[in-house]
Amino acid sequence: MFTATTVSWDRVRSDLTLRNELFIDGAWVRGSGEELTLVSPRDGQELTRIASASVEDVDRAVASARSAFDSGVWSGLAPRDRGQRLIAFAQHIADHAEELALTITLEMGKPLRQAYETELRAVVNSFRWYGEAIDKVLDETPSTAPDSLALVTREPAGVVGAVVPWNFPLTMAAWKLAPALAAGNSVVLKPDEHTSASALRLAELAFEAGIPAGVFNVVPGFGAVAGQALGLHPDVDVITFTGSTAVGRKFLEYAAQSNGKRVWPELGGKTASLVLDDADFVKAVEASAHGCFYNQGQMCTAASRLLVPRHRLDEALEIAGRIAALQRPADPLDLDAPMGSLVSSQHLDRVAGFVERAAASGSDLIAGGSEANAVIEGGSYFAPVVVNAARESEIARQEVFGPVLSVIAFDSLDEAIEIANETEFGLAATLWTTDLKNAHLVSRRLRAGIVWVNCFEEGDMTVPFGGVKSSGFGRDKSLHAIDKFTDLKTTWIDLS
């Protein structure tokens, strides 16, 4: 399983039907909002049209989630029974992983092999892991005085609104849905407009696998309509969000303007990869470049800033340039494609704009760029770019969300740490050193939710994922994520 070369993709493609209605209360419902056209960035061709969710449709989805929650059909199950259903759901996703992977590739342009072997594996793993974990999460009886008994029990929060981006569309959805559902909540998912079809199919598979009607609803639609309606809804208890810092802050405002719901923002990043003098230099630079270009650079953790000692700057530019030249965009349906297309032509313009402004302001570029658009006519292809960047430049500070690596020179360890910490973000940082003491001491000084030492993108379901500063404060994955979707109840019993 999850070996792309063993799949008959032509057959998967000819059998593929994209869902294009809302999924509410276990049924397909025609949206009453504006039409949303899904365009494939692979070739600019229309995939399908969806009548999107209006404010009233979101209302209906929330009402369905609330009524399912109050009925106890899911929230009232023993954790073990919910867990078993999530494990069955994971298996059902695995059985349909090919069509989901193909859908993601057509929707947002990532290479099919990565969609199937990496993303779908992560999605299955997430549901399976929380399914297996949930009946091992125990309540507490604190050691109070002998004449009383205190119970600390964990209760599902109620209705969870999940709003996710397009870059790892089903992984992000799974990281929210799996702990929220495992804990007994009902969920309304607002996928990104580009990746609505894969989310809709996921909900249908959940229903087929025995997740009751109303427990998992999907309202594809526009952020400013459906996303906002969820954020402002008085009957949504929790918002879990992954996306940009600007929109994450809007959700905090929506909460303040409505019912003070809990908001868990997981936001942007500008990962610094800090290579110290004693590091395995070639390995560090190569891994950082790959870590910047993976998923066409559209990763919140992309290693988009490479920090090297000044006397090794030229060498770093040369190695990173070599990796950039190898990572040529190609048809994402080609199983050998190292890179696919960016998510949309608008996003292509945004990424190209950063590079054009860097060039105009005098930065040296090893390009790359939009010339790769010849891959497929109408597609949104962009070849990796390496920039010799000044630390204060726009390209070195802002999140580009494309395959653009800024290489920045430092003169001392203190300066390197200062540069690593000087953007508004604090999601992840990478440190390359062979000195054990520095590995610990420098890691402590890096203001980031995740620090990788001599590795990049290590991850496991047992380990939390999330940032600090403007990268937000939510944590996905691990048992800690269950805290986001549960309330602790204290019950005192008088024994005197």
| C-alpha triplet 483, 484, 490: angle, nearest 5° | 50
User: For ligand NAP, which stretch binds (CB under 6 A), given 23-31, 190-198, 414-422, 487-495?
Assistant: 190-198
Q: Report which DSSP code applies to 35.
A: E
Distance of CA 478 to the CA centre of its chain: 15
Residue 224 in the binding site for ligand NAP (CB under 6 A) = yes
* 204 vs 53: CA distance, rounded Å: 17
**What token pair was written down for 219?**
């309202």
Q: With respect to ligand NAP, which residue has the nearer C-beta, 276 or 342? A: 342
The question of whether 300 is a catalytic residue gets the answer yes
Asked if 165 interacts with ligand NAP (CB under 6 A), we say: yes
Query: In whole angstroms, how close is the CB of 281 to ligand NAP at the nearest point?
Result: 28
The residue (of 111 and 269) whose beta carbon lies closer to ligand NAP is 269
> Which of the residues 394 through 453 are near ligand NAP (CB under 6 A)?
399, 401, 427
250 binds ligand NAP (CB under 6 A): yes
Q: Out of 268, 309, 332, 379, which residue is the one contacting ligand NAP (CB under 6 A)?
A: 268
Residue 190 phi, psi dihedral angles, 5° rounding: -110, 100
* Cα 368 from Cα 162, distance rounded (Å): 36
Site size for ligand NAP (CB under 6 A): 30
Q: Are strands 404-410 and 385-388 parallel, antiparallel or unpaired?
A: parallel
Instruction: Please say whether the dihedral angle defined by the alpha carbons of residues 16, 21, 24 and 25, taken in this order, is positive or negative.
Output: negative
What is the 3-class SS of 68-93, one letter each residue? HHHHCCCCCCCHHHHHHHHHHHHHHH
Q: Which of 230, 217, 166, 163 is nearest to 190 (CA)?
A: 163
Catalytic residue among 193, 204, 266, 399, which? 266
98 is catalytic: no
Among 62, 188, 206, 267, binds ligand NAP (CB under 6 A): 267
Token digits for 240?
């879990």
Of residues 116 through 155, those in contact with ligand NAP by CB under 6 A are none
Of 67-75, 202-210, 266-274, 436-444, which part binds ligand NAP (CB under 6 A)? 266-274
Q: State which of residues 184, 269, 309, 402 lies at the interface with ligand NAP (CB under 6 A).
A: 269
Residue positions counted in the chain? 496
**Catalytic position from the list 98, 107, 300, 399:** 300
Contact 164, 194 (CB under 8 A): no
Q: Whole-angstrom distance between the N-terminal and C-terminal Cα of the chain?
A: 60
Q: Six-digit token pair at 223?
A: 């952020």
Residue from 25, 98, 193, 204 binding ligand NAP (CB under 6 A): 193
**331 touches ligand NAP (CB under 6 A):** no
Stretch that binds ligand NAP, among 99-107, 136-144, 160-168, 274-282 (CB under 6 A): 160-168
Residues in contact with ligand NAP by CB under 6 A are: 163-167, 172, 190, 192-193, 222-224, 227-228, 231, 242-244, 247, 250, 266-269, 300, 399, 401, 427, 467, 471
Catalytic residue numbers, as ranges: 266, 300
